[in-house]
Amino acid sequence: MESRKNSDHRQMRRGGESMKTRSPSVIVVGSGFAGISAARTLQDASFQVTVLESRDRIGGRVHTDYSFGFPVDLGASWLHGVCKENPLAPVIGRLGLPLYRTSGDNSVLYDHDLESYALFDMDGNQVPQELVREVGVTFKQILEEVKKVRDEQDADMSISQAFSIVFSKKPELKLEGLAHNVLQWYLCRMEGWFAADADTISVQCWDQEELLPGGHGLMVRGYRPVINTLAKGLDIRLNHRVTKTVRQYNGVIVTTEDGKTFVADAAVIAVPLGVLKSGTITFEPKLPDWKQEAINQLGVGIMNKIILRFEKVFWPQVELLGVAAETSYGCSYFLNLHKATGHPVLVYMSAGQLARDIEKMSDEAAASFALMQLQRIFHNAMAPVQYLVSRWGSDVNSLGSYSYDVVGKPHDLSERLRVPVDNLFFAGEATSSSFAGSVHGAYSSGLMAAEECMIRVLDLFQLVMGEEGPASVPLLISRL
Ligand SMILES: Cc1cc2nc3c(=O)[nH]c(=O)nc-3n(C[C@H](O)[C@H](O)[C@H](O)COP(=O)(O)OP(=O)(O)OC[C@H]3O[C@@H](n4cnc5c(N)ncnc54)[C@H](O)[C@@H]3O)c2cc1C
């Protein structure tokens, strides 16, 4: 499928390659879960598939690092919905990969059971568990009131605005002192889920996500084995950054940054929404307005991790350590990987503006920042022996962590992002109306794009068995 001259392609497709032996061809742009699941499905259906990937690795926002001597995930690490309905369950189950369930609750706000928290104030005193629980109940009540506020208003507003209205209507829900700080911590966890600040999250959309049953489970050995398995046998060209796609009546031409061109009958665009927003891939003819609007209006949040490996464990055996502060921006939390994996590792997580601010720091400064938060809790916390810092917001291959609904925008943006344009099919977490921002959402979007692509392309190709029977290439071209 690769050549440097477009005219050669036409030659190759119409002359050089026998119509009797050619099966439909598809270029998949991006080798994250969405791209790989699309490529896998299409290749299994006898399509000729080439995957073009800008990085020197596959996986995208799934990135298991082994430099500590054991796997840690810099991107996704949870399977949200540990159940057989999860589209990823068959492959994870087949591989026998262990999961560590951090919560049996399906809530977006409680991916950790309350009993597994240890929350501290800014002076390092542990917040009594009873208070943590009580504030948790108040937080749920506030969110119930937020829904009522939403039902009363036509116009959308942010979660922060809705909170203010609830507090003015029900002042008893407005907490003071330490309880206020704990409430801010709950808000900080909610912001983590959306990778965005409460003043940008849409009150109309925040609870519209479809949640699979079974709670939340950590991939103890990381996500890498899953993507590697799905990618086996695929033609993946690493270090191939796509800069242009041209749609023609009978196919697509995809150009990479070093000037190589690839032609195929169709393409699946499975790059992150942040990359589409940046305009670094040009589309000719340009994408229709409804599609471009969806790209512009859907939000991309930032969530980052600072992974700290210590000589030995000096913290309590809870799953989540938190620091409650006066504002959600000032709060922090660490995932205790020791509980799930046995390794002395804490993962500091930040979202929204805080994540953006931390990305401006060097790796060393970011690790010191995370250590400083830890030292609020444990005055004698030792320095880590190794650390890893993610930069999903500034990485040109992602330009954000995952999508979310911004205040005041239409609700059908993910669906518009997904809908094909001619022979271009779109996949990726942001195109998943049901499971946006997740690995299983990305995976199922790839399956969907592949299925639509097959229907569309096979519509143009008549499926006829060759004279030699199914052992030969089974697809014949009926047009051109
Ligand atoms: C810090 C963090 C934590 C997360 N935690 C979880 C979690 O616990 N559970 C969960 O379910 N989800 C989680 N997510 C979300 C999840 O990682 C994503 O939803 C999912 O991995 C996205 O997959 P994708 O295929 O849509 O995109 P990606 O994985 O980003 O794949 C897109 C691919 O396109 C490539 N690309 C970009 N530009 C070009 C170009 N011009 N040419 C060619 N290739 C290009 C990229 O390099 C990348 O490989 C997390 C994400 C982050 C960042």
Question: pLDDT of 325-345, one tens digit each?
Answer: 999 999 999 999 999 999 999
* Distance (Å, whole) CA 457 – CA 449: 12
- Start-to-end Cα distance in the chain: 17
* Domain end among 389, 421, 443: 389
203 within a domain of the structure (yes/no):
yes
Same domain, 176 and 286: no
Q: Are residues 374 and 421 in the same domain?
A: no
The whole-number pLDDT of residue 57 equals 98
**Domain shared by 124 and 179, yes or no:** yes
Together in a domain, 371 and 454 = no
Q: Is residue 38 part of a domain?
A: yes
Q: What is the pLDDT of residues 33-47, one digit of tens each?
A: 999 999 999 999 999
Q: Output 5 or 176, whichever has higher pLDDT.
A: 176
pLDDT at 153: 87
Task: Give me the mean pLDDT over the 151-155 stretch.
Answer: 89
| Residue 60 alpha carbon to ligand 1 centre in Å | 4
Are residues 384 and 413 both part of a single domain?
no
pLDDT of residue 205: 87
Q: Share the mean pLDDT of the chain.
A: 90
Residue whose CA is at the smallest distance from ligand 1 atom 33? 30
Last residue of a domain, one of 336, 362, 389: 389
- Name the binding residues for substrate: 348
Q: Indicate whether 290 and 416 sit together in one domain.
A: yes
Mean local confidence (pLDDT), 312-326: 94
Ligand 1 mutation target, pool 402, 435, 440, 444, most atoms within 8 A of CB: 402
Res. 410: pLDDT tops 90: no
- Round to whole Å and give the CA distance between 18 and 170: 74
- Per-residue pLDDT, 102: 84
Mean pLDDT within 274-295:
98
Q: What is the pLDDT of residue 211?
A: 84
pLDDT at 207: 86
- What is the rounded average pLDDT of the residues 256-281? 98
State pLDDT tens for residues 169-222: 999 999 999 999 999 999 999 999 999 999 999 999 888 877 898 888 999 999
> Range with the lowest mean pLDDT among 372-376, 406-410, 471-475?
471-475
Same domain, 162 and 203: yes
Q: Which atom of ligand 1 is nearest to the CA of 443?
A: 25
Question: 230 and 286 share a domain?
Answer: yes
Residue 89 lies in a domain: no
> Which of 17, 12, 11, 16 has its CA nearest to residue 476?
17
Binding residues for FAD: 242
The residues pairing with 251 across neighbouring beta strands, listed in sequence order, are: 248
Of ligand 1's listed atoms, the one at least distance from the Cα of 303 is: 1
Whether residue 479 is contained in a domain is answered as no
Shared domain check, 441 and 354: no
For residue 308, is it within any domain?
Answer: yes
Specify the number of domains making up the chain.
Answer: 2
What's the confidence (pLDDT) of residue 462?
A: 56
Q: What is the CATH number for 162?
A: 3.90.660.10
Given ligand 1 and candidates 28, 56, 61, which is best to mutate, with the most ligand atoms within 8 Å of its CB?
61
The reply to whether 281 and 310 lie within a common domain is: no
Instruction: Determine which of 5-19, 68-82, 329-343, 422-436 has the lowest per-residue pLDDT on average.
Output: 5-19
Q: Which atom belonging to ligand 1 lies closest to the Cα atom of 436?
A: 19
pLDDT of 355 above 50: yes
The pLDDT of residue 396: 98
Domain carrying residue 348: 110-208+303-389
Q: How confident is the model at residue 14 (pLDDT cuts 50, 70, 90)?
A: very low
Ligand 1 atom closest to residue 242's alpha carbon, by position in its atom list = 42
Q: Does pLDDT of 307 surpass 90?
A: yes
Q: Are residues 198 and 307 in the same domain?
A: yes
Of the listed ranges 345-349, 380-384, 442-446, the least confidently predicted one is 380-384
288: how many CB neighbours lie within 10 A of its CB?
14
Protein residue with least CA distance to atom 49, ligand 1? 60
Distance 27 CA to ligand 1 centre (A): 18
Question: Atom 13 (ligand 1): residue with closest C-alpha?
Answer: 76
pLDDT of 10 higher than 50: no
Residues with CB under 6 A from ligand 1: 29-35, 52-55, 60-62, 75-78, 80, 241-242, 270-272, 275, 281, 303-305, 390, 392, 397-398, 401-402, 428-429, 437-439, 442
Would residue 309 count as lying in a domain? yes
Domain CATH code at residue 453: 3.50.50.60
The proportion of the chain whose per-residue pLDDT surpasses 70, expressed as a percent, equals: 89
- Residue with the smallest CA separation from ligand 1 atom 39 is 54
Determine, yes or no, domain membership for 198: yes
Q: 233-251: per-residue pLDDT in tens?
A: 999 999 999 999 999 988 9
| pLDDT attached to residue 244 | 98
Question: Helix 177-194 vs helix 129-152: angle between axes, to the nearest 10 degrees?
Answer: 60
255 found inside a domain: yes
Mean pLDDT on 97-125: 76
- Please report the pLDDT score of residue 127 as a whole number: 96
User: pLDDT at position 114, please?
Assistant: 58
- What is the structure's pLDDT at 360? 97
Last residue of a domain, one of 329, 359, 389: 389
- Do 40 and 121 sit in the same domain of this protein? no
Ligand 1 geometric centre to CA of 104 (Å): 25
